[in-house]
Amino acid sequence: MLEMLLSPGRSERRPWELFFVGIFYATLSVILVNWIFASDPVLSKYSGMIIVTFAVMFSMPYVYYTIRMEENKSASLRGIRLLTEHSKAINAFLWLFVGFIIAFSFWYIVLGSPDNFRAQIETYCSINSPQNYQGCVNEHGIKEGVSGTGFVTGEISGGRLFGGILTNNLYVLIFAVVFSVIFGAGGIFILSWNATVIAAAMVIFAKSDIYSLPLSLGRYMIHGIPEIAAYFIGTLAGGIIGLAIVRKEFKTSRFWDIIYDSIILIVVAILILVIAGLIEVFLTPKLF
């Protein structure tokens, strides 16, 4: 039923609507996980990942149909006009992503239970406090830490040098492309996961003060928006390739046009990541 709420065509005309859809999907994910799994002594430990799974389930139909629509555009458009058309879908995706972040960070504070974002807090600490990992997770309400890392965007690791940040972000971009080629809209998993990690980082920076969230949002979004845009571009490029393979278009000359268009999208994504890395290293520390 929920997948019928969104139309890719309408979303491109009114992308801001995806902001409220993102809030709704993220809120529903948190509520369902707390309602169904909070009392389970085992599954409650993995609430953070289950929340991501629900958000992906809700978003997958929209992302898939959007990718299918963008793949059809590749048949009739080329060059700047095609990139302009693709930018409409990216804009809609970004509104969805920001809605995720706002809702996840809001419910993190309101519920007051770090166990809902246990994996996200552990990931935050593994990157920002690798030398004092256990102390970091304990400080933020997790009594038992498990070392490890995940697919995390550079915006939560502002102390890294530009080369390290860019390498990390390219790593995420590669997985977004690969996941989307294999699973169609699979890149949405990595992006939803990053939304929850950024939300946890925002709450930590705001010291769980809901009135400080706007400042925290500004700190992470000033370079986070271009980064996430790059990942969505990669997701779109990979999804277009994957869909063309499923349709067996590799037997036609049109397939090579699709590959060419997808490569252009990936190059654009890389350039955006370079700009985002420069903003993170040289601008964000001066402003915050």
* Per-residue pLDDT tens over the stretch 80-91: 666 677 788 888
First to last CA, the chain: 43
Residue 104 lies in a domain: yes
**57 occurs within a structural domain:** yes
- Residue at 1 is within a domain: no
How far out from the chain centre does Cα 2 lie? 20
Give the three-state DSSP class for 252: coil
Q: Per the domain annotation, does 100 fall within a domain?
A: yes
Provide the whole-model pTM. 0.83
Range of the domain at 237: 10-287
pLDDT at residue 145 tops 50? no
Q: What is the mean pLDDT of residues 93-98?
A: 91
Look at residue 29 in the predicted model and tell me its pLDDT: 94
C-beta separation of 242 from 192 below 8 A: no
Most confident of 10-14, 74-78, 183-187: 183-187
pLDDT on residue 90: 86
Q: How far apart are CA 143 and CA 131, in angstroms?
A: 17
Q: What pLDDT does residue 79 have?
A: 57
HSE (side-chain half, CA atoms, 13 Å) at 55: 30
Decide if 78 is inside a domain. Answer: yes
Q: Is residue 129 part of a domain?
A: yes
Length of the chain: 288
Answer positive or negative: Cα dihedral of 102, 95, 258, 168: negative
Contact 57, 28 (CB under 8 A): no
Structure confidence at residue 17 (pLDDT): 85
Kindly state whether residue 4 falls inside one of the protein's structural domains: no
Q: How many domains does the chain have?
A: 1
